[in-house]
Amino acid sequence: SGSYGLFFPDIATILLNCVAISSSIGVEANTASPLTNGVNQEILFTAISGGASFQLNSEETVTSDYVFIRSRNAEFNYSENPSFISGSTGEVIYNSFINNPQVYMTTVGMYNDANELLAVAKLSRPLLKDFTKESLVRVKLDF
């Protein structure tokens, strides 16, 4: 794959590809057997300590999954925004907001069965929502 090895920080282990390392530093490494009494670690130490500097690159595998979140036309048509409701009574301020509310979805929260918030997704742009529109939002989860 062209890499010099793998790093597993969770188990404090580094596995090195001695063929790749020896070919890049121009030194013949012992690749016959891991049980052979070679000096690969000394060759690597000498190459690193004798140089002025060295550079490391990393590569990480990210697993992605897509979740589709649907809100029907009768759902999520009101807001808790202070411009929408009265702060003292909690009632909708304008009568037009009662029969024909128009809100903009900007954020989607994902909850588990115990109603605990697990993740928050921000929409790339506000999405108009009212009683005539359903919404379907695709959320990409990277983990």
Residue 125 has pLDDT above 80, yes or no: yes
CA distance 45 to 35: 19
Residue 1 has pLDDT above 60, yes or no: no
Mean pLDDT score, 109-121: 94
Q: Where are the domains of the chain?
A: 5-50, 64-142
DSSP at 25 = H
pLDDT of residue 91: 79
Residue 121 has pLDDT above 60, yes or no: yes
* 27-84 pLDDT tens trace: 666 656 655 555 667 777 777 777 767 677 777 888 999 999 999 998 888 777 777 7
Which own/partner contact pairs does 31-39 have at CB distance under 8 Å and 24+ positions apart?
A: none
CA torsion 7-9-13-16 (nearest 10°) is: 10
Residue 12 has pLDDT above 70, yes or no: yes
pLDDT of residue 34: 59
Q: Identify the residue with better confidence: 89 or 117.
A: 117
**In terms of pTM, does the model score above 0.85?**
no
